[in-house]
A and B are shown apart, each in its own frame.
Chain A
Amino acid sequence: MQKEYTITVYTEDRIGITNRITIIFTRRRINITSLTTSETEIPGVYKFVITVLATRELLDKVVLQIERLIEIHRAFVHEEDEVVYQELALYKVSTKALSNGNIERLIRDNHARILTIAEDYFVIEKTGHQQELLDMLKKLEPYGLIEYTKSGRVAIVKWSRRFHEHLKNLGEKQMDNLPPGVTHPEANRSGISL
């Protein structure tokens, strides 16, 4: 059954890596609904958070094809309850709305905040799950909404401790190429099974 899944991918910092990852989804005709990427706490290691609508069975195969790429450390598929995640939305609203006392209350009650106020518009920021962000959008529409934009997903995996220890070890070993004969303690995938 198709469902929304979160995929996390840990990569080296290399030009073109986004392309390499997305090609694999494209070939399987899977539509990426959002994609976020940024450096992790380990220098040189990047984390992609990708959301897709697909079946678990297919995605289990896809992550292995992603892991086959040389610059990928690991890729995982997560069920909804395995991750803590948030998205961020910005709402640009006409300044006129501010004269309506209700809007400040609306912002407060929805745990949003005003980022900036200009002469003819102001910008509200809110984080949350997609549905909450959309609900806020609906509520703001009557006040003269000018523009809405939303980020991709940012996610923390609940069980990721051992994997992050593994990544940290990598970070400490600055050497990309170990001298011949030296086996890397983490070179075996099963050694970091999670």
Chain B
Amino acid sequence: MQQKDVLPMKTEKSDKRPAPAPVSEPITGAEAVIRSLIAEGVETIFGYPGGAIMPIYDALYDFQVSGQVNHILVRHEQGATHAAQGYARSSGKTGVVFATSGPGATNLVTGLADAYMDSTPMVAITGQVAAALLGTDAFQETDVIGITMPITKWNIQVTRPEDIPGAIAKAFYIAKSGRPGPVLVDITKNAQFGKLDFQYEACEYIRSYRPKPVLNMEQVEAAAALINASKRPYILCGHGVLIADAQKELIAFAEKAGIPIASTLLGLSAVSVDHPLYVGYVGMHGNYSPNINTNECDVLIAVGMRFDDRITGDVNTYARQAKVVHIEIDEAEIHKIIKADAPVHADAKEALQALTGKIDAKDTKAWIQSFKELDKQEDEKVRHKELYPTEGELKMAEVIRLISEKTGGEAILVTDVGQHQMIASRYYGFKSPNTNITSGGMGTMGFALPAAMGAKVGKEEREVVAIIGDGCFQMTLQELGTIYQSKIGVKIVILNNNFLGMVRQWQQLFFDRRYSSTEMTNPDFVQIAKGFFIPGKKVTDRSEISDAIDEMLNTPGAYLLEVVVEKEDNVFPMVPAGAPIASIRLD
């Protein structure tokens, strides 16, 4: 089967229907949904139909035929949410999801929770039973609002057609502004059928919602004073830097005072790994020197990050010696885990710009050198043998190194959850922003395949490579069907160790090697891909891997590469859960 590296709707744009003229006649609520989305600039919707959302799908039909909006039929609603996340993270736009009531809506839960934890803008629209049936346990009625309340930034149930445009306008404003997040709009069937006079006005203000704090210069001055008085300042770059598009400002700030920058898992790709001030990534399986030096710095400047427990380990021993500057747009994150000595409640971009003007240049050579020395230990004990093994079975790290070299660190890397995720995050040489897409806060297995699909749709011109464990792949592999049907040219690499590797590693280290239910007897992944008309190859030998990666990257369209890797390999360094980060183990 010929795979085209493009989406059908984009190329087959026909003129069957002219652009929608302003509507003068009343239209259905369902049509109002689609027109509202178009007014918000939505190009792609990921979704799955069903009884309670049928009027909306019916309205979608004409707009799809005329090429005004594209719908991608996923194979499971969870896939739609992860695809929308991947789309949002690669394109910077809000991802959009459709699902029907009941089981359709409950299948969104994992993806909504994941997007909430990782601050990803998403608008999910669910169909609901008719308003008259609400609360009666009607067929496929579920309290979607109740279920999704704790995992959405906002949600709303709409029971009247005339409320649809306003609800959707608010949904987009809330999803994207401030600290972004997922929003759910549940629309009853009668509201979809009913008529309204359509008029769309984008939402710019909600009186009880202040998405962006006004920069407080006193806070900036206080932070600058701490930084100017420091000898060993240290930056932790989080996802907030990418969300605020503050990469340049961060680097200008760091360069002015010679401050080393470490990244969190979701902050990866904000700073190129080549940058002389970049020292690696922090956290449970992060690099040795940035973890150790967190407890050596005198001022810790946290930007757009929230001190997750995978970063801090035991909070009672975390950076006790350091004064903490915390730049954060969400006030609820300030002092939540780590008390800040100089909080800056602001957008990262604005805060960094202002701070750069207030800080002095300083000599930090010795401080930076200390990272290099620690780094040498990681190199000797871990990195070298991981990246350049000459014998034994294939290692995950060498596969990632080759992919990194062959893509020049410029591919969008989408990783799933487990050892392969940590190895890919450690060894892929990220060069440009927003090229790292992973499930950080939730750690959702099954994330990568649908997210990669969405990422490719959001940035067609970019190479998108998904790195997936054998366990994770089997959680959402049905999305191969979507990839085939919608001709999405995503490269899929399965790192197969026949184990739920990360859990097995914990069992080995902390449960006396009792491998309880972590060994996997796997199917023939290449045959499975073949069943979905996606070409692929299985590699077990070191001598074949380089050519196989070339073949994958040179094949137009989707491709699946299964790499059989060492079964009982471990990811080091490692900070055991809840232990002090200074107890990080190199082996």
Q: Which of B202, B209, B216, B335 contacts A61 (CB 8 A)?
A: B335
Contact B149 A177 (CB under 8 A): no
Contact A70 B201 (CB under 8 A): no
Which parts of B474-505 form the interface with A (CB within 8 Å)? none
In the bound assembly, the distance between CA atoms of A15 and B134 in angstroms comes to: 14
In the bound assembly, the distance between CA atoms of A73 and B208 in angstroms comes to: 5
B184 to nearest A CB, angstroms? 12
Tell whether A68 is near chain B: CB-to-CB under 8 Å: yes
Tell whether B402 is near chain A: CB-to-CB under 8 Å: no
The interface residues of chain B lying within 8 Å CB-to-CB of A71 are: 208-209
Which parts of B202-256 form the interface with A (CB within 8 Å)? 202-210, 213-214, 216
The interface residues of chain A lying within 8 Å CB-to-CB of B207 are: 12, 73, 170, 173, 176, 184
Contact B145 A177 (CB under 8 A): no
B428 to nearest A CB, angstroms? 33
The interface residues of chain B lying within 8 Å CB-to-CB of A184 are: 205, 207
Contact B214 A19 (CB under 8 A): no
Tell whether A51 is near chain B: CB-to-CB under 8 Å: no
Q: Which of B145, B174, B208 contacts A72 (CB 8 A)?
A: B208
B270 to nearest A CB, angstroms? 24
Contact B332 A179 (CB under 8 A): no
Tell whether B336 is near chain A: CB-to-CB under 8 Å: yes
In the bound assembly, the distance between CA atoms of A179 and B201 in angstroms comes to: 10
Name, among B203, B209, B331, B336, the residue most crowded by chain A CB atoms within 10 Å (CB to CB).
Answer: B209
Q: Which of B149, B157, B204, B335 contacts A178 (CB 8 A)?
A: B204
The interface residues of chain B lying within 8 Å CB-to-CB of A60 are: 335
Q: Which of A23, A61, A64, A170 contacts B150 (CB 8 A)?
A: A23
Tell whether B357 is near chain A: CB-to-CB under 8 Å: no
The interface residues of chain B lying within 8 Å CB-to-CB of A190 are: 213-214, 216
The interface residues of chain B lying within 8 Å CB-to-CB of A180 are: 202, 204
In the bound assembly, the distance between CA atoms of A16 and B148 in angstroms comes to: 12
Contact A178 B205 (CB under 8 A): yes
B343 to nearest A CB, angstroms? 12
The interface residues of chain A lying within 8 Å CB-to-CB of B216 are: 190
Contact B208 A16 (CB under 8 A): no
A67 to nearest B CB, angstroms? 7
Tell whether B392 is near chain A: CB-to-CB under 8 Å: no
Q: Which of B153, B157, B205, B213 contacts A177 (CB 8 A)?
A: B205
A 59-78 to B, binary, CB cutoff 8 A, 1 in contact else 0: 01100110110111100000
Contact A189 B203 (CB under 8 A): no
Q: A16-B145, A190-B216 are in contact. Are A70 and B209 (CB under 8 A)?
A: yes
A28 to nearest B CB, angstroms? 11
The interface residues of chain A lying within 8 Å CB-to-CB of B506 are: none
Contact B213 A188 (CB under 8 A): yes
Contact A70 B149 (CB under 8 A): no
The interface residues of chain B lying within 8 Å CB-to-CB of A1 are: none
The interface residues of chain A lying within 8 Å CB-to-CB of B150 are: 23, 27
The interface residues of chain A lying within 8 Å CB-to-CB of B208 are: 11-12, 70-73
Name, among B149, B205, B336, the residue most crowded by chain A CB atoms within 10 Å (CB to CB).
Answer: B205
In the bound assembly, the distance between CA atoms of A126 and B204 in angstroms comes to: 48
Complex: chain A residue closest to B209, CB-CB: A70
Name, among B146, B201, B208, B334, the residue most crowded by chain A CB atoms within 10 Å (CB to CB).
Answer: B208
Contact A187 B336 (CB under 8 A): no
Q: A68-B332, A70-B154 are in contact. Are A23 and B205 (CB under 8 A)?
A: no
Complex: chain B residue closest to A66, CB-CB: B332
Tell whether A138 is near chain B: CB-to-CB under 8 Å: no
The interface residues of chain B lying within 8 Å CB-to-CB of A111 are: none
25 contacts between A and B (CB under 8 A): A12-B208, A15-B157, A16-B145, A16-B149, A19-B149, A23-B150, A61-B332, A61-B335, A64-B332, A64-B334, A64-B336, A67-B331, A70-B206, A70-B208, A73-B207, A176-B206, A177-B201, A177-B206, A179-B204, A182-B205, A187-B205, A188-B210, A190-B213, A190-B216, A191-B214
- Closest CB pairs A-B (n = 4): A64-B332, A188-B214, A178-B205, A70-B154
Q: Which B residues lie at the A interface, using CB under 8 A?
A: 145-146, 149-150, 153-154, 157, 169, 174, 201-210, 213-214, 216, 330-332, 334-336
Known: A12-B207, A188-B213. 20 other contacts (CB 8 A): A11-B208, A12-B208, A19-B149, A23-B149, A61-B332, A64-B334, A65-B332, A68-B330, A68-B332, A70-B153, A73-B207, A73-B208, A170-B207, A176-B205, A177-B203, A177-B206, A179-B204, A182-B205, A188-B210, A190-B214
